Amino acid sequence: MIAVDRADRAPRVPVVSRPAPVRGRVFVQRDRCKGCELCIEFCPTSVLSRSKDFNARGYHYPIAAAGCINCRLCVTVCPEYAIFSVAAGSRGAAGAAAAANAGGQA
C-alpha cells in the first residue's frame, strides 16, 4: 500500500446541509381531542405538552411549543385526527392555522 499523508487532503464536508432545527408547526383541533396523550408520549422532541384547560368534551388537549421537526408522529398516532403538522414556511401554514383556529388551537 502507498502511504498517504492525511494533512495533504482537503477536509471532508457533508454532502447535504444539516436541516434547520425547526422544520414544522403543529396544529391541534382541541374540540376533537379525547385526551389520550399519545401524541405527547410519542413526540421525539417533547414539543407537545398537556394543557391545563379543558375542551368542550371535558378533556385536556395538547399544546405545542416551538421546536417541531415535522416528523408527523403525532399525526400518525392520533386516533381522533385532532392534530396535524405542516412544514415551516410552507404556503399551507396560513390555511392550516385558519382551519385549526376554526375548530381548535394553533
In which domain, by residue range, is 50 found? 20-103
User: CA–CA separation, 11 vs 28, rounded Å?
Assistant: 45
- Residue ranges of the chain with per-residue pLDDT less than 70: 1-7, 19, 91-106
- What integer pLDDT is reported at residue 106 of this predicted model? 47
Q: What is the mean pLDDT of the chain?
A: 83
Read off the pLDDT of residues 47-66 as tens digits, 9 standing for 90 and up.
Answer: 999 999 999 999 999 999 98
Count of domains forming the chain: 1
- What integer pLDDT is reported at residue 58 of this predicted model? 95
Of 65, 95, 67, 71, which Cα lies nearest the Cα of 85? 71
pTM: 0.68
- What integer pLDDT is reported at residue 93 of this predicted model? 58
CATH of the domain at 28: 3.30.70.20
